Structure 1
Amino acid sequence: MKTYVIGDLQGCHDQTVALVDRILAEEGQAPSILFTGDLINRGPESLATLRYVHALAVASGGRVDTVLGNHDLHLLAVATGIRPASASDTLSHILEAPDGAELLEWLRTRPMAILRKGHLLVHGGVLPQWDAQQVMALAGEVETALRGPGWTAFLAQMYGNEPNAWDDSLQGPARLRCIVNALTRLRFCSMDGVMDFKLKESAKADPASGLMPWFDVPGRRTQDVTLVFGHWSALGLLLRPNLIALDTGCVWGGYLSAVCLDDRSLMQVQCPEFREHAGKSAT
């Protein structure tokens, strides 16, 4: 059974269906399909997209799943009244839907990271100090908080840019916040893993800043697995021997992309410009 990973959907329902249909037509047997998170928001059909992926996952017996992205967590926070909706959100139909509670319950039980076939899937990034097994263990800490009875209290303390660097001694909300920020928001960091959250609209940082893409930090401890991620539309498609970046700006008039982990074959569906790009990235 082959495994495909699809990049950020962001509420682009028709393109999601078209790409999944191409994958299913290509395979003689049902493949595994994973998503890089940010299933919803900014695009025109967040509710339909979430319903579609949810139905695929429920019917798949575990073959279809997604990691959580920052927009997915934002939806949970808005739904619980912890965060206000922003003017650019396209979440209201989910919040008003008769099956909205069921969809949100499914969403909050999704993983923060998936390790499969030597590939480590996250939405944003991983800090250079973490190896793959540590990433999975730390992701599990967040998953436990999200799936437990105190999940709304966790969400209420999840936001903020501090601490911006990992320390094994971190505890409580600060520890979980640091993990969430790395796994769902990280793009640039320093050589010693200090995270930056200001640069969003570029794939490159000023060399004088001391910042670099998290995956280019020398000595990164996840170099023994292939990292697969989305989140960074300004970066676009990036295929390296141990790296796959899959946010190709679907909502910004780019493409929705899928890569087969078994043979590196690429499938893409071109998308309308649902949001004016103007140099912006899907943050």
Structure 2
Amino acid sequence: MATYAIGDLQGCYDPLRRLLDYISFDPAADRLWFVGDLVNRGPASLEVLRFVKSLGAAATVVLGNHDLHLVMQAEGYGKANKEDTLEAVLAATDRDELLAWLRSQPLFHVEGDWAMVHAGLLSTWTVAQAKALSDETSAALMADDYRDFLAHMWGSEPAAWRDDLVGWDRLRVVVNAMTRMRYVTATGAMEFRAAGAKAPPDKGPPGCVPWFAAPMRASADHQIVCGHWSALGFHQEKNLLALDTGCLWGGCLTAVRLEDRRIMRQPCPQQAKPSGWD
């Protein structure tokens, strides 16, 4: 049995199937971890959703910002982008089943010494605290009144965590950290607006560091698997695996076998140009 963590798909179904053939994936014995952003911008979001859902317990998924964007679009919230490629999902006969399944996925997954999140964790959060906050958010996404949460979910404020946060502000910080964050300031606030907020670390906003380089990061006692940052590309440290290698932009789709950190890559044919919308 092997566990393979796989970077952002964003609707790139054919490269995924070729990668799984290459690693001889066996759904009866192996497991796949998907770091989020299953959908959008790529050509086959519907096929990706149907396939990953069909894997059942063989697949572990965390939600990314594009996945939440799809859920919001389906319910009439948020702003559509001209580069969205979600029409097939929204028009599918099984859309309600697919969206309910997607909405039921967590923002954060922990298993032994490993943990997975789409974007990152704020520096003061322990893994246990992050799991509890993910569970709070999942409860809101699965509640009967989940549309109320969707109506208040998007936005970049508050930019920093406080233990006394409540209501939509509390959940919004969790969503932003786990699905959108790349850089934090010296005081631990998330930086979304400054020039360079999506750039690689050597060109990031002045006075900011990548979230995983924040001093005294409380989650550093676990090995974190993440995606979301194609400008960073593949990046590994003792306690970090960043796996967004830009398949959508004509890069490659990356899988890492967690048992031994063996890296496997599948070239991707897309030649899309990044719009700058994360």
Q: Give the TM-score taking structure 2 as reference length.
A: 0.95
- Number of residue pairs aligned between Structure 1 and Structure 2: 276
The equivalent of 2:260 in structure 1 is: 263
Mapped to 2, the partners of 1:63 and 1:126 lie a distance apart of 25
The equivalent of 1:19 in structure 2 is: 19
Mapped to 1, the partners of 2:33 and 2:128 lie a distance apart of 19
Mapped to 2, the partners of 1:148 and 1:244 lie a distance apart of 32
> In structure 1, which of residues 215, 218, 229 is the aligned counterpart of residue 226 of structure 2?
229
How far does residue 111 in structure 1 lie from its aligned partner after superposition? 1.0
How far does residue 194 in structure 1 lie from its aligned partner after superposition? 0.5
Secondary structure of the 2:40 match is coil
How far does residue 200 in structure 1 lie from its aligned partner after superposition? 4.2
Worse overlay, 145-154 or 190-199 = 190-199
How far does residue 63 in structure 1 lie from its aligned partner after superposition? 2.7
In structure 2, do the counterparts of structure 1 residues 112 and 9 end up closer, same or farther at CA, with 3 Å as the change threshold?
A: same
Worse overlay, 193-202 or 146-155 = 193-202
Mapped to 2, the partners of 1:207 and 1:29 lie a distance apart of 43
Which blocks of at least 5 consecutive residues in structure 1 are unaligned?
Answer: none
Q: What are the superposed Cα offsets for residues 105-154 of structure 1, whole Å, 9 maximum, x if unpaired?
A: 10000011011131110000000000100010000010000011111110
Mapped to 2, the partners of 1:208 and 1:85 lie a distance apart of 27
> In structure 2, which of residues 166, 187, 206 is the aligned counterpart of residue 209 of structure 1?
206
Amino acid at match of 2:103: R
> In structure 1, which of residues 76, 80, 90 is the aligned counterpart of residue 75 of structure 2?
80
The equivalent of 2:114 in structure 1 is: 119
Amino acid at match of 2:206: S
Mapped to 1, the partners of 2:123 and 2:273 lie a distance apart of 34
The equivalent of 2:181 in structure 1 is: 186
The equivalent of 1:54 in structure 2 is: 53
Q: Give the TM-score taking structure 1 as reference length.
A: 0.93
Amino acid at match of 1:118: D
How far does residue 44 in structure 1 lie from its aligned partner after superposition? 0.9
How far does residue 193 in structure 1 lie from its aligned partner after superposition? 1.1
Mapped to 2, the partners of 1:167 and 1:28 lie a distance apart of 41
Which blocks of at least 5 consecutive residues in structure 2 are unaligned?
Answer: none
Secondary structure of the 1:10 match is coil
Amino acid at match of 1:140: D
The equivalent of 1:276 in structure 2 is: 273
Would you say the 8 A contact 2:38–2:67 is kept in 1?
A: yes
Would you say the 8 A contact 2:9–2:37 is kept in 1?
A: yes
In structure 2, do the counterparts of structure 1 residues 219 and 10 end up closer, same or farther at CA, with 3 Å as the change threshold?
A: same
Would you say the 8 A contact 2:182–2:198 is kept in 1?
A: no
Mapped to 1, the partners of 2:34 and 2:99 lie a distance apart of 17
Mapped to 2, the partners of 1:117 and 1:254 lie a distance apart of 31
Would you say the 8 A contact 1:66–1:111 is kept in 2?
A: yes
The reply to whether residue 96 of structure 1 matches residue 91 of structure 2 is: yes
How far does residue 15 in structure 1 lie from its aligned partner after superposition? 0.5
The reply to whether residue 68 of structure 1 matches residue 63 of structure 2 is: yes
How far does residue 55 in structure 1 lie from its aligned partner after superposition? 1.1
Q: What are the superposed Cα offsets for residues 229-260 of structure 1, whole Å, 9 maximum, x if unpaired?
A: 00000000011111000000000000100111
Q: What are the superposed Cα offsets for residues 205-240 of structure 1, whole Å, 9 maximum, x if unpaired?
A: 668821000000111001110111000000000111
Amino acid at match of 2:72: A
Q: What are the superposed Cα offsets for residues 20-50 of structure 1, whole Å, 9 maximum, x if unpaired?
A: 2223x16696211110000000001111111
Identity %: 45
**CA RMSD after TM alignment:** 1.7
Mapped to 1, the partners of 2:65 and 2:265 lie a distance apart of 23
Mapped to 2, the partners of 1:164 and 1:270 lie a distance apart of 36
The equivalent of 1:38 in structure 2 is: 37
Secondary structure of the 1:86 match is coil
